[in-house]
Amino acid sequence: MSAWLFDAGVTIGRRRVPDRHRRRAVANFDEDVVTLAADAAASALEQAPAPPEVVILASLSLPYAEGGSAQLLVELLRLPSETVVMELGATLRDGLLAVRLADGQLAAGAQRVLVVGAHRARAEERDGGDGAVALLLGRDGGLARLTPGVAHAEELRDRWRLPGDPALRIADPSFADVYGAARVARLMAPRREGADAAQAVVSCPAPAAAARAERDLGGTGDTLVARTGVLGAAHPLLRLLDSLEQPTLLLAASGGLGESLLCEPEAAASALAARARDAVAGGDEVDAVATVVAGVDFHPYQSAPRAWRERGQDLRLEGLRFGDRVHYPPPAVPPPGHEHESGVAVALARTGTVLTQTRDHVFPGAPVTQMVVLDLDDGARFYAQVAAGEELEIGDRARLVPRRLHDGGSDSGTNFIQYFWKASQCR
């Protein structure tokens, strides 16, 4: 049994920050694994005939250490509430492990599975970058056949974090290189079942070690990492897309855990590879991470029941249609002329035009908070912050994107993360 790749989406942090031998992709302060994953997944699902029954999120930087993050994707992507969600968060190889799990779900009867790898690098990850890759997988007839191969497990720590650790612990690089993830890849490669003709692609947290291992196995080396950094669990998935022009054996290893995946693309898959490379090639060059605007730190009133009640209208971005007009937030009572109607819940248009704007210098947190009023394409109006690092002017076209709004909460029992929609440039 194999899974088939039908579509994909790639979101890479917009900023490119030079760091030693490479540029790291750095997302803005209002982005995290959930928003990056949602953005990539939205692209992957754009042409999907029906929503996936299963969502698997693999990330080493999940915003919620406990309590779940993937359910946010279900809301932000307007997926059915009966969607099965899974989270993986052990090591970088979990990107490929997610494909193995998806393969099992498809074999068990699922029609479509969404696999998302996403990463927001920690400060101490000097080789790390920010980004997300989403794959829409299904049964026969897609762009590439994906067949899980051998796995590996042994007690071999190259990076780890204990409960309460503020930072990642990373083993001596020489150990990681010789005995770490790259070694695991070398161990797995000879066991490439039916993949003799495939090129080998190795992903592990240490780029130099991965490159050496890959060359040892006859591969060409990782050309993406120099432009993005290592994207955690998303990295092997990005490399999968990059190698869609020929059969590839993907190997991913870290922490003594290894996964392998054989990818056999059809000719039409090269378009996906091109799209992935375009996403990597974009971005805004900045000199240092310090130029990224600092995060917001304030303490708004919020409550879990309120958040739960309003998820339908904010994360799913749903309004109520009465006649030919969409109202957001949904009105408490029907508008005049529609007194006996209950309205139809609809997804708001995600694009619109800037009616007016201001750059606010007194709202706490960021030095300047730009606010815009958008006239959405469906006639609804939306009042929103502009996504960090972007600017909009009157008359500009804009789209709504999910972003991390704030983490505040003066009550320690309710300081959960608030996601909402911001306005972003239409690219």
Partner 1 sequence: MPIAGQVAIIGSASTPFGVLHDRGYLELLGEAARGAIADAGVTQERVEAAWLGTAEPGVAALLGDAGTAVTEAIAFAPKPVTRVSTFCCTGMEAVRAAAMAIAAGEHELVLAVGAEKMRDVSPRGSLVARTANLTHPTLAKGRSAPGQFALLANRYLQVYGHELADLAAVAVKNHEHAQRNPLAHFRTPVTVEQVLAAPRVAEPLGVLDCTPTTDGAAAVILASVDWAREHADDYAVIEAISLAVVDGYYAGFFHGEPDYLGFRVTREAAARAYAAAAIESPREQLDVVECHDCFTITELVNYEDLGLCGRGEGVELLRSGATTAGGDVPVNLSGGLQACGHPVGATGVRMIKEIADQVIGRAGERQVGGARRGLAHTLGGPGVASCVAIIGAPR
Give contact residues for partner 1 (rule: CB under 8 A). 298-302, 306-307, 310, 314, 325, 327-329, 331-332, 355-365, 369, 371, 373, 375, 379-385, 394, 405-406, 408, 410, 418, 420
State the minimum distance, in angstroms, from the CB of residue 312 to partner 1: 13
DSSP structure class, residue 233: G
Instruction: Rank residues 127 and 378 by Cβ distance to partner 1 and give the closer one.
Output: 378
Q: Any idea what the Cα angle at residue 248 is, between residues 246 and 254, rounded to 5°?
A: 150
Q: 76: burial class by Cβ within 10 Å (0-12, 13-18, 19+)?
A: buried
Instruction: Rank residues 292 and 374 by Cβ distance to partner 1 and give the closer one.
Output: 374
Instruction: Rank residues 108 and 332 by Cβ distance to partner 1 and give the closer one.
Output: 332
Query: How distant, in Å, are the alpha carbons of 253, 343, 375 from that of 324?
Result: 54, 11, 15
Instruction: Rank residues 161 and 338 by Cβ distance to partner 1 and give the closer one.
Output: 338
CA distance 301 to 285: 37
Residues 389, 25 contacting (CB under 8 angstroms): no
State the minimum distance, in angstroms, from the CB of residue 419 to partner 1: 8
Residues 30, 59 contacting (CB under 8 angstroms): no
Instruction: Rank residues 115 and 317 by Cβ distance to partner 1 and give the closer one.
Output: 317
Instruction: Rank residues 171 and 417 by Cβ distance to partner 1 and give the closer one.
Output: 417
Single out the residue of 199, 126, 194, 116 nearest to residue 159, CA to CA.
126
Q: Where are the beta strands (DSSP E) in 112-216?
A: 112-119, 131-138, 144-153, 159-160, 169-170, 199-203
State the minimum distance, in angstroms, from the CB of residue 350 to partner 1: 16
Q: 390: burial class by Cβ within 10 Å (0-12, 13-18, 19+)?
A: middle
SS3 61: coil
State the minimum distance, in angstroms, from the CB of residue 387 to partner 1: 11
Compute and round to an integer the Cα radius of gyration of the chain.
22
Instruction: Rank residues 89 and 330 by Cβ distance to partner 1 and give the closer one.
Output: 330
State the minimum distance, in angstroms, from the CB of residue 384 to partner 1: 8
Count the Cβ atoms, other than its own, within 10 Å of residue 35: 27
State the minimum distance, in angstroms, from the CB of residue 233 to partner 1: 28
Instruction: Rank residues 169 and 299 by Cβ distance to partner 1 and give the closer one.
Output: 299
CA distance 251 to 370: 44
State the minimum distance, in angstroms, from the CB of residue 383 to partner 1: 4
- Count of residues in the chain: 427
Instruction: Rank residues 209 and 296 by Cβ distance to partner 1 and give the closer one.
Output: 296
Instruction: Rank residues 199 and 370 by Cβ distance to partner 1 and give the closer one.
Output: 370
CA distance 220 to 218: 7
Which backbone phi and psi does 334 adopt, to 5 degrees?
-60, 145
State the minimum distance, in angstroms, from the CB of residue 308 to partner 1: 12
Burial 340-367 (b: 16+ CB within 10 A, else e): eeebeebebbbbbbbeebeeeeeeeebe
State the minimum distance, in angstroms, from the CB of residue 136 to partner 1: 29
Which backbone phi and psi does 386 adopt, to 5 degrees?
-85, 140
CA distance 67 to 55: 16
State the minimum distance, in angstroms, from the CB of residue 69 to partner 1: 18
